[in-house]
Chains A and B, each alone.
Chain A
Amino acid sequence: MGFRARHLLGIEHLAPDEIVAILDLAEDYVRLNRSGTKHSDALAGLTQVNMFFEASTRTQASFELAGKRLGADVMSMAMQASSVKKGETLIDTALTLNAMHPDILVVRHPQSGAVDLLAEKVNCAVLNAGDGRHEHPTQALLDALTIRRARGRLHRLSIAICGDIAHSRVARSNIMLLGKMEHRVRLIGPPTLMPSGIAEFGVEVFDDMREGLAGVDVVMMLRLQKERMDGGFIPSEREFYHRYGLDAEKLSHAKDDAIVMHPGPMNRGVEIDGTIADDINRSVIQEQVEMGVAVRMAAMDLLMRMRRAGPREVAI
């Protein structure tokens, strides 16, 4: 199976068979990561540059580890502290880095579409590590892998995504991926935190959490994005917790073996009760982090495989 794209910019551009290919390869890397060596040479000799224009701990660490375990030379740059401060534009920064011949650029940016813009200007593979409210494809892929491993399949499940949908790129990528895999997707949250035009997304929308959670297989919680709100979306955090925070009572409306997911970082006591998050029988939050490394290894490996089999190398 081939992976057709040059970049991984969003789930929007992926076909279902490509999604499955990434997940299948990721399974191999889960095994590798659990083995003693934790090392492969899939990206040996290649250069991976992580450009994070927005603060990130887990995603950046995950990409860094993924690259290192595949043998790539990895460099992480905290872009907020560098030339951006000196007034350099995004495109100039990209061109500067491009001139150093990296093979993979991993980019996170606070503006929707910034990673697409950057990908047009460079000739290496670009992986979107989250752009504004647009997409966060590797998060959706790691969620899919987690679901597939926990529920044994990745189609026709009933999945609820809860909380701050409007500001969430994780929600957008997940809605797209889960839709492509023929799941039944429910969105739960206050109407002020729903994106506009949501009725046209092919999902069911609930503003009552108990109703929305009734009988679902998977509960995906989202972080309340306090930093993206310019005020007035919800009356208070305590009211939000009361109506939309996941606690044992609300979770009891889902299937008995429903799993609980969260992309992190969590606001305990705002969108999720601490005891639920820590309940090893229900919560797969730690597993998500583990799958993140494997999925990112698989995505980078696949992108580079296509590149290595490309016409330029054949000609040489």
Chain B
Amino acid sequence: MKTVLANARLIDPEAGREIFGAVIVQDGRISDVVDGNWSGDGQVLDCGGKCLAPGIVDVGVKVSEPGERHKESFASAGRAAAAGGVTTIVTRPDTTPAIDTPEVLEFVSRRAAEDSVVRVVPMAALTKGRAGREMTEIGFLRDAGAAAFTDCDRVIADTKVASRALRYSGALGALVIGHVQDPGLSAGAVATSGKFASLRGLPGVSAMAERMALDRDIALIEMTEGRYHADQITTARALPALERAKRNGLDITAGASIHHLTLNELDVGAYRTFFKVKPPLRSEEDRLAVIEAVASGLIDIICSMHTPQDEESKRLPFEEAASGAVALETLLPAAMRLVHGGYLDLPVLWRALSLNPARRLGLEGGRLAKGAPADLVLFDPDAPFVLDRFTLRSKSKNTPFDGQRMEGRVLSTWVAGRRVFPEEARDA
């Protein structure tokens, strides 16, 4: 069957341009992309001049299976992703227990296939139990479908362990994702050190802790020839090191979370725990520097760092409260703030949201081109709304954007040509 998504602003991150035209979908793939008004045959869906882009590939999503299904399941995460225009979620292994054996990974893959309406690509832990001592069965896990290896927010403090894990995985061509925070300096910190943290009496960590960890990891990659992605770069001071490493030809990429791109440390205000994320929110200067790095391509990937937490773990004094925020559904509208603010245009934004993450993880999607999977999102970049967190599809409602005005709404999402959002249209 041939479906034509016609009369759309097509966002092509690969060509870095935006054209008016139509996308033709056949057998779950894009069979053609054509300019101008559609006058041919087929089942035509009029996009009404709205934006049609490749579905978002979100690296580092926490689905709380196994262990804490009350916070998020594959079913709820899948629905949230579809509603947010995310067609592939690359899941984190920091579950309970950690995804560190092929058996647990197979369980996760099976649960995902049964319940999720979007594609799920699992990652696995780099060390057993994410304890930073012995590496996991990287080869077996890779055969079982692990797209990358990461201990998430735990940093391997022992450089000997880290170097062996990088060397071993590098030889297999496996990607390692590192969290760049010096573990000593950042221990116990819940804010970025500076005036705000001092006024609130919160233990802070210097922004320098990020550069320190990045510098260390860069040296390790140089030594081991590993393949490496820094999960979140959030400070201006880390950027020159990243730039140098890339210039020297190391196999390194970097990401930034949507929260660090759209919020700063002052948003915490009077100890609002929904704004507690890891690493902590930074200064406005850092936020702007990181946006600029995304625009220039120095930072490759924008991710949601979707981290579901229940009310109980957030309704605590700030230091005791859990870190993280849900973001699958708010990623696109929040990212549109960067477009409306004039920092990025849509093709550049989509390079970071879909093209680069797909490429880096060796996935097929993320492109708007002939032959690519028909993972697509249709959205209205200007539609305004006020976010009510209780309307989110995630089981957990811990979003910092509650009550905020946002612009940019997903109209439809397709995975392999099948419409997964809005829900009621699923069988159409």
The answer on a CB contact under 8 Å between B317 and A90 is: yes
Closest A residue to B188 using CB positions: A230
Are A135 and B195 in contact (CB-based, < 8 A)? Answer: no
Q: Which residue of B lies closest to A132 (CB)?
A: B201
Q: How far is the CA of A70 from the CA of B263 in the complex (A)?
A: 47
Total interface residues on B, using CB and 8 Å?
A: 22
In the complex where A90-B316, A113-B271, A113-B318 touch, is A172 in contact with B193 (Cβ < 8 A)? no
- Judge if B293 is at the interface, Cβ distance under 8 Å: no
Complex Cα gap A109–B320 (Å): 12
**Residue B404 is within 8 A (CB to CB) of chain A in the complex:** no
Q: Which residue of A has the minimal Cβ distance to B270?
A: A116
B170 to chain A, nearest CB (A): 37
Q: Is A68 part of the binding interface, using a Cβ–Cβ cutoff of 8 Å?
A: no
Residues of chain A contacted by B206 (CB below 8 angstroms): 196
Interface size on A, residues (CB 8 A): 25
CB distance A200 to B318 under 8 Å?
no
A89 within 8 A of B: yes
Q: Check A112–B319 contact: CB distance below 8 A.
A: yes
**Secondary structure of the B contact surface, majority rule:** loop
B271-308 CB mask vs A (1 if < 8 Å, else 0) is: 10000000000000000000000000000000000000
B428 at the interface (CB under 8 A from A): no
- Report how far A133 CA is from B199 CA in the complex, Å: 9
With most chain A CB atoms within 10 A of its CB, the pick from B193, B195, B201, B202 is B201
| Across-interface contacts of B318 in A (CB, < 8 A) | 111-113
Find the B residue at minimum CB distance from A196.
Answer: B193
What are the residues of chain B within 8 A of A91 when measuring CB–CB? 315
Taking the complex as formed, is A64 at the interface, i.e. its CB lies under 8 A from any CB of chain B?
Answer: no
Q: Among the listed B196, B201, B316, which residue makes an inter-chain contact with A172, where contact means beta carbons less than 8 Å apart?
A: B201
Contact of B200 among A109, A117, A134 (CB under 8 A): A134
Shortest CB distance B192–A (Å): 9
How distant is B217 from chain A, measured CB to nearest CB, in Å? 25
The reply to whether A197 and B195 form a contact with Cβ atoms under 8 Å apart is yes
Task: Check A89 against B201 for contact (C-beta < 8 Å).
Answer: no
CA distance A200 to B270 in the complex (A): 19
Question: Could you tell me the distance between the alpha carbons of A306 and B199 in the complex, rounded to whole angstroms?
Answer: 28
**Given A89-B312, A196-B204, A230-B188, is A109 in contact with B317 using a C-beta cutoff of 8 Å?**
yes
- List A residues 129-150 near B (Cβ within 8 Å): 131-135
Contacts of B315 in A (CB 8 A): 89, 91, 117
Residue of B at shortest CB range from A134?
B201
Q: Is A114 an interface residue (CB 8 A)?
A: yes
Contact of B201 among A90, A117, A169, A201 (CB under 8 A): A169
Closest-CB distance, A230 to chain B (whole angstroms)? 7
Q: Which of A94-144 contact B (CB under 8 A)?
A: 109, 111-114, 116-117, 131-135
Within 8 A of A (CB), among B309-332: 312, 315-320
A172 and B199 contact, Cβ closer than 8 Å, known pairs A116-B271, A197-B194: yes
User: Which A residues are in CB contact (< 8 Å) with B198?
Assistant: 172, 195-198, 201
CA distance A12 to B194 in the complex (A): 17
Cα A116 to Cα B194 in complex, Å, equals 21
B372 interfacial contact with A, CB 8 Å? no
B192-219 residues with Cβ-Cβ distance < 8 A to A are: 193-202, 204, 206
Distance in Å: Cβ of A250 to nearest Cβ of chain B: 26
Please indicate the chain A residues that have their CB under 8 angstroms from the CB of B199 in the complex: 12, 172
Among candidates B195, B201, B202, residue contacting A200 with C-beta atoms closer than 8 Å: B195
Which residues of chain B are near A134, meaning CB under 8 Å? Answer: 200-201
Whether the pair B317, A113 counts as a contact (CB closer than 8 A) is yes
Cα-based distance from A230 to B320 in the complex (angstroms): 17
Query: Is the CB–CB distance between A197 and B317 below 8 Å?
Result: no
- A112-B271, A230-B188 given as contacts; is B316 within 8 A of A197 (CB)? no
Q: Which of A114, A195, A196, A200 contacts B317 (CB 8 A)?
A: A114
Q: List 5 A-B contacts (CB under 8 A).
A: A113-B319, A116-B271, A134-B201, A172-B201, A197-B197
Given contacts A113-B201, A133-B202, A196-B194, 9 further A-B contacts (CB under 8 A): A89-B316, A90-B317, A111-B319, A112-B319, A113-B202, A196-B198, A196-B204, A197-B197, A197-B198
Chain A residues within 8 Å of B, Cβ to Cβ: 12, 89-91, 109, 111-114, 116-117, 131-135, 169, 172, 195-198, 200-201, 230
Chain B interfacial positions (CB closer than 8 Å to A): 188, 193-202, 204, 206, 270-271, 312, 315-320
- Which 4 residue pairs spanning A and B have beta carbons closest together? A134-B201, A113-B271, A197-B195, A133-B201
